[in-house]
Copies of this chain bind each other. A is one copy, B any other.
């Protein structure tokens, strides 16, 4: 079966999911991101790699935070960025998703950054682009349903590599609502591909997908047990709407069992790092004493995230664009 993310030369054509990406591509993205870290720290935070390219932020689901990171990344690459709030646009007038895409391609779009409530929407777009023969137009999945959020997964890998150097000696714990998290899936696939020997998930049964073990992870329902000796703690955000259903008792009880407090963190390795995709619910899944501690690398994650998004956009639309 062909890999919808790669072109016929095995190069990245779209970023849909970390699942199925070869280790070489992951490493290429992380290495390119490293070269961009220096750009954002400059006085003039700009490189002309995407000058005159048109990047469309297609957000079918509102996310100012994620949209902003892509907008900044694109502007630092000197692209022209068009933000489309799709709820208000043509789809509301009955136009189909693919008609919208066709229209934007006809306006000479180079790159679509797509956020959608439905899993698979970015994939549908890439299949359509393939069908109409437009291999010069690229798609980045900025979060689709419960499926994937690959740039988040990649910036997490960047963060781990930055602090821990070698993936092949690590024990990594992912804690929280794995069931509803597109981030967790991306993380597990990335960690596996990069050779992390032990990946743990720590969560109540109600917040785990059935048969999650098949992904190659060790499951813990007791957080203290699960954190023992880990190098990296990756916290997940708890959607407040989960509290309202029957899944969980209360945010206090959740915090008691699965919130990351200093005493629980003390069970991890002394130099363990703490990660969170943001925005944090302080006092729900993470204690402020941990979030603001020296072990937390939550804000560096954000910084790395800009560099990773610049890398992905440059690999997709910069390099290939030059050859168009």
Residues of A whose CB lies within 8 Å of any CB of B are: 40-46, 51-54, 62, 64-65, 68-69, 71-72, 75-76, 80, 82, 84-86, 88-90, 93-96, 99-100, 102-108, 240, 278-282, 299-303, 305-306, 321-322, 324
| Alpha-carbon distance between A123 and B272 when the two chains are bound, in angstroms | 35
Q: What would be 9 A-B contacts, judged by CB atoms less than 8 Å apart?
A: A43-B324, A44-B53, A68-B84, A72-B82, A94-B281, A95-B280, A96-B282, A100-B279, A107-B302
Q: Are B107 and A68 in contact (CB under 8 A)?
A: yes
Copies in the complex: 3
Asked if B306 and A108 sit within 8 Å, CB to CB, the answer is yes
Contact A52 B45 (CB under 8 A): yes
- Least distance between A167 CB and chain B CB atoms (Å): 24
Identity of the chain B residue whose Cβ is nearest the Cβ of A301 in the assembled complex: B106
A137 to B105, CA, bound (A): 32
- What residue in chain B is nearest A93 (Cβ atoms)? B279
Q: Which of A102, A281, A301 has the most CB of B within 10 A?
A: A102
Known interface pairs A62-B88, A80-B72, A303-B108; A51-B44 also in contact (CB < 8 Å): yes
Are A94's CB and B240's CB within 8 A? yes
Which 8 A-B pairs give the minimum distances between C-beta atoms?
Answer: A44-B52, A64-B89, A95-B279, A106-B302, A46-B52, A106-B299, A90-B279, A75-B80
Partner of A85, one of B46, B64, B90, B105: B64
Report A68 CB to chain B, min CB distance, Å.
6
Q: Which residue of B lies closest to A41 (CB)?
A: B108
In the assembled complex, the Cα of A94 lies from the Cα of B71 at a distance in Å of: 23
Contacts of A41 in B (CB 8 A): 108
A81 to chain B, nearest CB (A): 9
A85–B96 Cα distance when bound, in Å, is 25
**Complex Cα gap A84–B100 (Å):** 23
Inter-chain contact B40/A45, CB cutoff 8 Å: no
Q: How far is the CB of A156 from chain B (nearest CB, A)?
A: 15
Does A64 lie within 8 Å of B88, measured CB to CB? yes
9 other A-B residue contacts (CB within 8 Å) besides A43-B52, A46-B80, A108-B303: A40-B107, A44-B52, A54-B75, A69-B107, A75-B80, A76-B80, A90-B279, A94-B240, A105-B299
Distance, CA A94 to CA B43, complexed state (A) = 33
Asked if residues B65 and A103 are in contact (CB atoms below 8 Å), the reply is: yes
A225 to chain B, nearest CB (A): 29
Closest Cβ neighbor of A64 among chain B residues: B89
Tell me if A90 and B65 are in contact (CB < 8 A). yes
Contacting residues, chain B, for A76 (C-beta < 8 A): 52, 80
* Shortest Cβ distance from A284 into B: residue: B94
With contact pairs A64-B85, A75-B80, A94-B240 given, residues A300 and B107 touching in the complex (Cβ less than 8 Å): no
Closest B residue to A136 by CB, please name it.
B43
Contact A299 B52 (CB under 8 A): no
- Bound form: Cα–Cα A305–B107 in Å: 8
